[in-house]
Amino acid sequence: MSEKPTLSIDLKLPLQPFTLRCSTTLAEQVTGLFGPSGSGKTSLVETITGLRRNAKGRIVFGDTVWMDSDQNIFLPPEQRGIGFVPQRGLLFPHLNVRQNLLFGSKRAKPNAEKSAQASRDLFDQVVDILNLGELLHRKPAALSGGERQRVAAGRAVCSNPQLLILDEPLSSLDLALRYKTLAFFIRLVNDLKLSMIWVSHDAIEVQAICDELIVIERGEFTHRGNPVQVLSNPKVFPTLEFSGFQNVLPCRIVESTEVQTRVRLDGGSAQLILSETIRDQKNEPGASAFVTIPARSILISTENPSHVSAGNRLPSTIVRIEPQSQSVAAVLVQLKNQSDQSPLVIELTTAALNRLKLEQGQSVYVLIKSTACVLQTVGQNST
Amino acid sequence: MSSSAWNAILLTIQVSTLATLIIFVPAVLLAWWFARRESVTSHFLFSLFGLPMVLPPTAVGYLLLQLLADEGPMGPVLMGLNLNLLLTWQAAVLAAAVMAFPLVIRTAKVAFENVDSDLEAIGRTLGRGPWSTFATVSLPLASRGLLAAAILGFTRAVGEFGATITVAGNIPGKTQTIASAIYSSQQSGNRTEAAVLVVFALCLGWIAIFCTELLIRRSTIASRQP
């Protein structure tokens, strides 16, 4: 794979009731755009795809100028080499799944070395990764919501895009289905090394799939960085949905028995025991998965408790304490034997914080009930 | 059935079919443009093309007559060649085409409006240009509505009287259509011939309306997003 092209955006986009302004460069593989509805996310990605034409400014991808209002350059969407997955899926109702997938494969501007054989391979790979084999002859009307979004993603990927833009691709699905479908998207990223812009207002999604997160509020980029760091920021943390902050930890399955599942967290050797059991051939030991744990369901102990029901007692170090309000604080801890990429976020009351006299750098034990962890398997990595 | 009634029926079908074929492609392209581009120009043109629907047909016929007259914009003096259209069956085709045009455009426009324009946008992001997207997305999704537009245009042409009689006359066996034949037989007291022609017109019209209703209902269901 050659050097990944970067996307430079310098835009002024008039919206109601504010003007979206941004000047930035996106270089990570998966960048998340996170913000409440009405913050300008969709308008921004529509401008990047070329479907919205009323912006002023400049968009450059690699060394191709997509748009420059000063020089009157506007590359139409079909020449930008992008794949777009909209919230509503928008499958072509008159075509079956196979025809939908192949709709963009005759892309006007293919990557130079791509031959017919390569595009054939891509089709087979996409069908395999997204598990679409049995759906190929169905019409969109006969698909479920999750299937529709998978086909929409597959159709965009089959057009061999240089950049995939997804506008809340899972928000039309209910929660249970949402994270199952998310697993397919994670496999797309892992197996095909796609570059993506992932628009969402779901904190679990963006942590599970994004390398970098940008928070957008009323047309301004307010926060940017590693997803966990951004989401635990006191300005962002309180805005998270009803269930509060969720830790999302990528992992591999170590073993799954009749009564529990043991996983090893990516980026280290720490292990977690979950009460969930899985009986699926695809999820044999070694398969990737992610675990979600609500920040509110994790306990901290200053000593190693021996008589406690929690299945996981993990030695850790406090990295940072972020007061969120008068009564609540987020404590970021580093699990022992884990890289410092992804701290665990724990929500504590200020009272508990004071009682235990917790401070940065302190060694503590993190207690997690096995039943508080939710496992979502991603499947075997093809590599 | 008398031979003059039979001639009128054949000529009407010939004239209406030709008129529909001539206007169909331009009407579909214009309807797509009207359905997708909202501008002062498009509104202006759309209302202009709608005029034959609201004017007295004889007024349209009169205007066509002026257009084709010796000194008119399409007459022999300015065109440099004589089309010799007046009082021929070709003039009846022209009259029927002009009168049916607004109805075809309007029905086709609704057919395109029922196609989600976001689907066309998706087609563009998948590497297809505007024309390719039109051919592979908009046209197939609007096809039932467009067929309905063609049928309605055809029936409008069958029923055309005022403009036709003004530019093509009412010459039995030459320019006499069902509509003008009914008028003539009624005037001359030939009730049998009038009845035969009326029954034929009734059946044709009823079948056409029935088909259009069916097509339009199905097309709204088919182009709706699941």
Percent of chain A with pLDDT over 90: 59
Query: Looking at the domain assignment, is residue A238 inside a domain?
Result: no
pLDDT tens profile A116-154: 677 778 899 999 999 999 999 999 999 999 999 999 999
Å between B222 CA and nearest CA of chain A: 7
Same domain, residue pair A150 and A297: no
Q: Are residues A251 and A172 in the same domain?
A: no
A204 to chain B, any CB pair closer than 8 A? The answer is no
ipTM: 0.85
Looking at beta carbons, which residues of chain B come within 8 Å of A107? 126-127
Compute the distance between CA of residue A98 and CA of residue A138 in angstroms, rounded to an integer.
8
Tell me: do A171 and A251 sit in the same domain: no
Q: What is the DSSP letter of A249?
A: E
Question: Which of A84, A106, A141 comes nearest B122 by C-beta?
Answer: A84
Question: What residues of A are in contact with residue B114 (Cβ under 8 Å)?
Answer: none
- Closest-approach residue (CA) in chain A for B118: A90
Let me know whether A106 and A219 are in one domain.
Answer: yes
Each domain of chain B, given as residue ranges in start order, spans 3-222
In-domain check, residue A72: yes
Instruction: Say whether B122 and A90 touch across the interface (CB within 8 A).
Output: yes
The residues near B95 (Cβ < 8 Å, ≥ 6 apart) are: B60, B61, B64, B160, B163, B164, B166, B167, B168
Question: How many of the other CB atoms lie within 10 Å of CB of A234?
Answer: 13
% of residues, chain A, pLDDT over 70: 93
Q: Which stretch of DSSP H or E encloses residue B124?
A: helix B117-125
* Continuous H helices in chain B: 3-36, 40-54, 57-68, 76-79, 89-113, 117-125, 130-133, 139-159, 162-167, 178-187, 191-222
pLDDT digits (tens, 9 = 90+) for B178-190: 999 999 999 999 9
Residue B224 confidence (pLDDT) above 70: no
Per-residue pLDDT at A272: 92
Shortest distance between the Cα of A46 and any Cα of chain B, in A, equals 10
Under-50 pLDDT residues of chain A:
1-2, 108-110, 112, 382-383
Residue A216 lies in a domain: yes
Task: Check which CATH number belongs to the domain holding A291 and give it.
Answer: 2.40.50.100
Q: How many domains does chain A have?
A: 2
A149 and A26 in one domain? Answer: yes
Question: Residue A348's pLDDT is what?
Answer: 93
User: Which structure tokens are listed for B44?
Assistant: 């202006």
The answer to the question of residue A239 being in a domain is no
Residue A159 inside a domain? The answer is yes
Q: Tell whether B124 is within 8 A of chain A (Cβ).
A: yes
Percent of chain B with pLDDT over 90: 78
Quick one: A149 and A251 in the same domain? Answer: no
Q: Give the C-alpha separation, B2 to B173, whole Å.
A: 12
Whether residue A293 lies inside any domain: the answer is: yes
pLDDT at residue number A369: 93
Domain that holds residue A57: 7-231
The reply to whether A337 and A201 lie within a common domain is: no
Across the interface, of A49, A106, A140, the residue whose CB is closest to B125 is A49
Percent of chain B with pLDDT over 70: 93
Please say if the pLDDT value at position B198 is more than 70: yes
Residues A147 and A277 in one domain: no
CATH number at residue A202: 3.40.50.300
The angle at the Cα of A116, spanning A114 to A121, to the nearest 5 degrees, equals: 85
Note the pLDDT tens digit of each residue in B39-61: 899 999 999 999 999 999 999 99
Tell me the nearest-neighbour CA distance from B145 into chain A, angstroms: 14
Contact of B196 with B173, CB cutoff 8 Å: no
Listed residues A197, A231, A265: the one ending a domain: A231
Give me B50's structure tokens: 């709608």
- Interchain CB distance below 8 Å, B126 and A148: no
On whether both A270 and A218 belong to a single domain, the answer is: no
End-of-domain residue from the set A173, A203, A231:
A231
Closest to A305 in 3D by CA, of A371, A368, A374: A368
- Residue A383: the pLDDT is 38
Q: Are residues A198 and A296 in the same domain?
A: no
Of residues B149, B146, B152, the one with CA closest to residue B134: B146
- Picking from A46, A51, A172 by the largest number of B CB atoms within 10 A of its own CB, the best residue to mutate is A51
Q: Which of A168, A163, A169 is nearest to A192 (CA)?
A: A163
What residues in B contact A103, CB-CB < 8 Å? Answer: 123, 126, 128, 136
The pair of three-digit structure tokens given for residue A315, joined into one six-digit string: 């030695």
- Residue-level pLDDT at A382: 43
The verdict on A227 and A254 lying in the same domain is: no
Mean pLDDT score of chain B:
90
pLDDT at A108: 38
| B126 Cα to chain A: minimum distance (Å) | 5
* Cα-based distances in Å from A88 to A150, A347, B163: 12, 35, 49
CB contact under 8 A, A109 and B118: no
Judge whether A299 lies within some domain: yes
Bridge partners, residue A347, by sequence: A330
Cα–Cα distance measured from residue A157 to residue A160, given in angstroms and rounded to the nearest whole number: 5
pLDDT of B219 > 90? The answer is: no
pLDDT on residue A94: 94
Q: Which fold has domain B3-222?
A: MetI-like fold (1.10.3720)
pLDDT digits (tens, 9 = 90+) for B116-174: 999 999 999 999 999 999 999 999 999 999 999 999 999 999 999 999 999 999 999 89
Tell whether A11 and A118 lie within a shared domain: yes
CB-based contacts of A265: which residues, under 8 Å, 6+ apart? Answer: A249, A250, A251, A271, A272, A291, A335, A338
**Residues of A numbered 119-178 whose beta carbons fall under 8 angstroms of chain B's beta carbons: which are they?**
140-141, 143, 148, 155-156, 159
Contact A300, A331 (CB under 8 A): yes
Structure tokens at A275: 């009460």
Q: Phi first, then psi: what are they for A325, rounded to 5°?
A: -155, -170
Tell me whether residue A2 is in a domain: no
Taking the Cβ of residue B209 and every Cβ of chain A, the question of whether any pair is shorter than 8 Å is answered with no
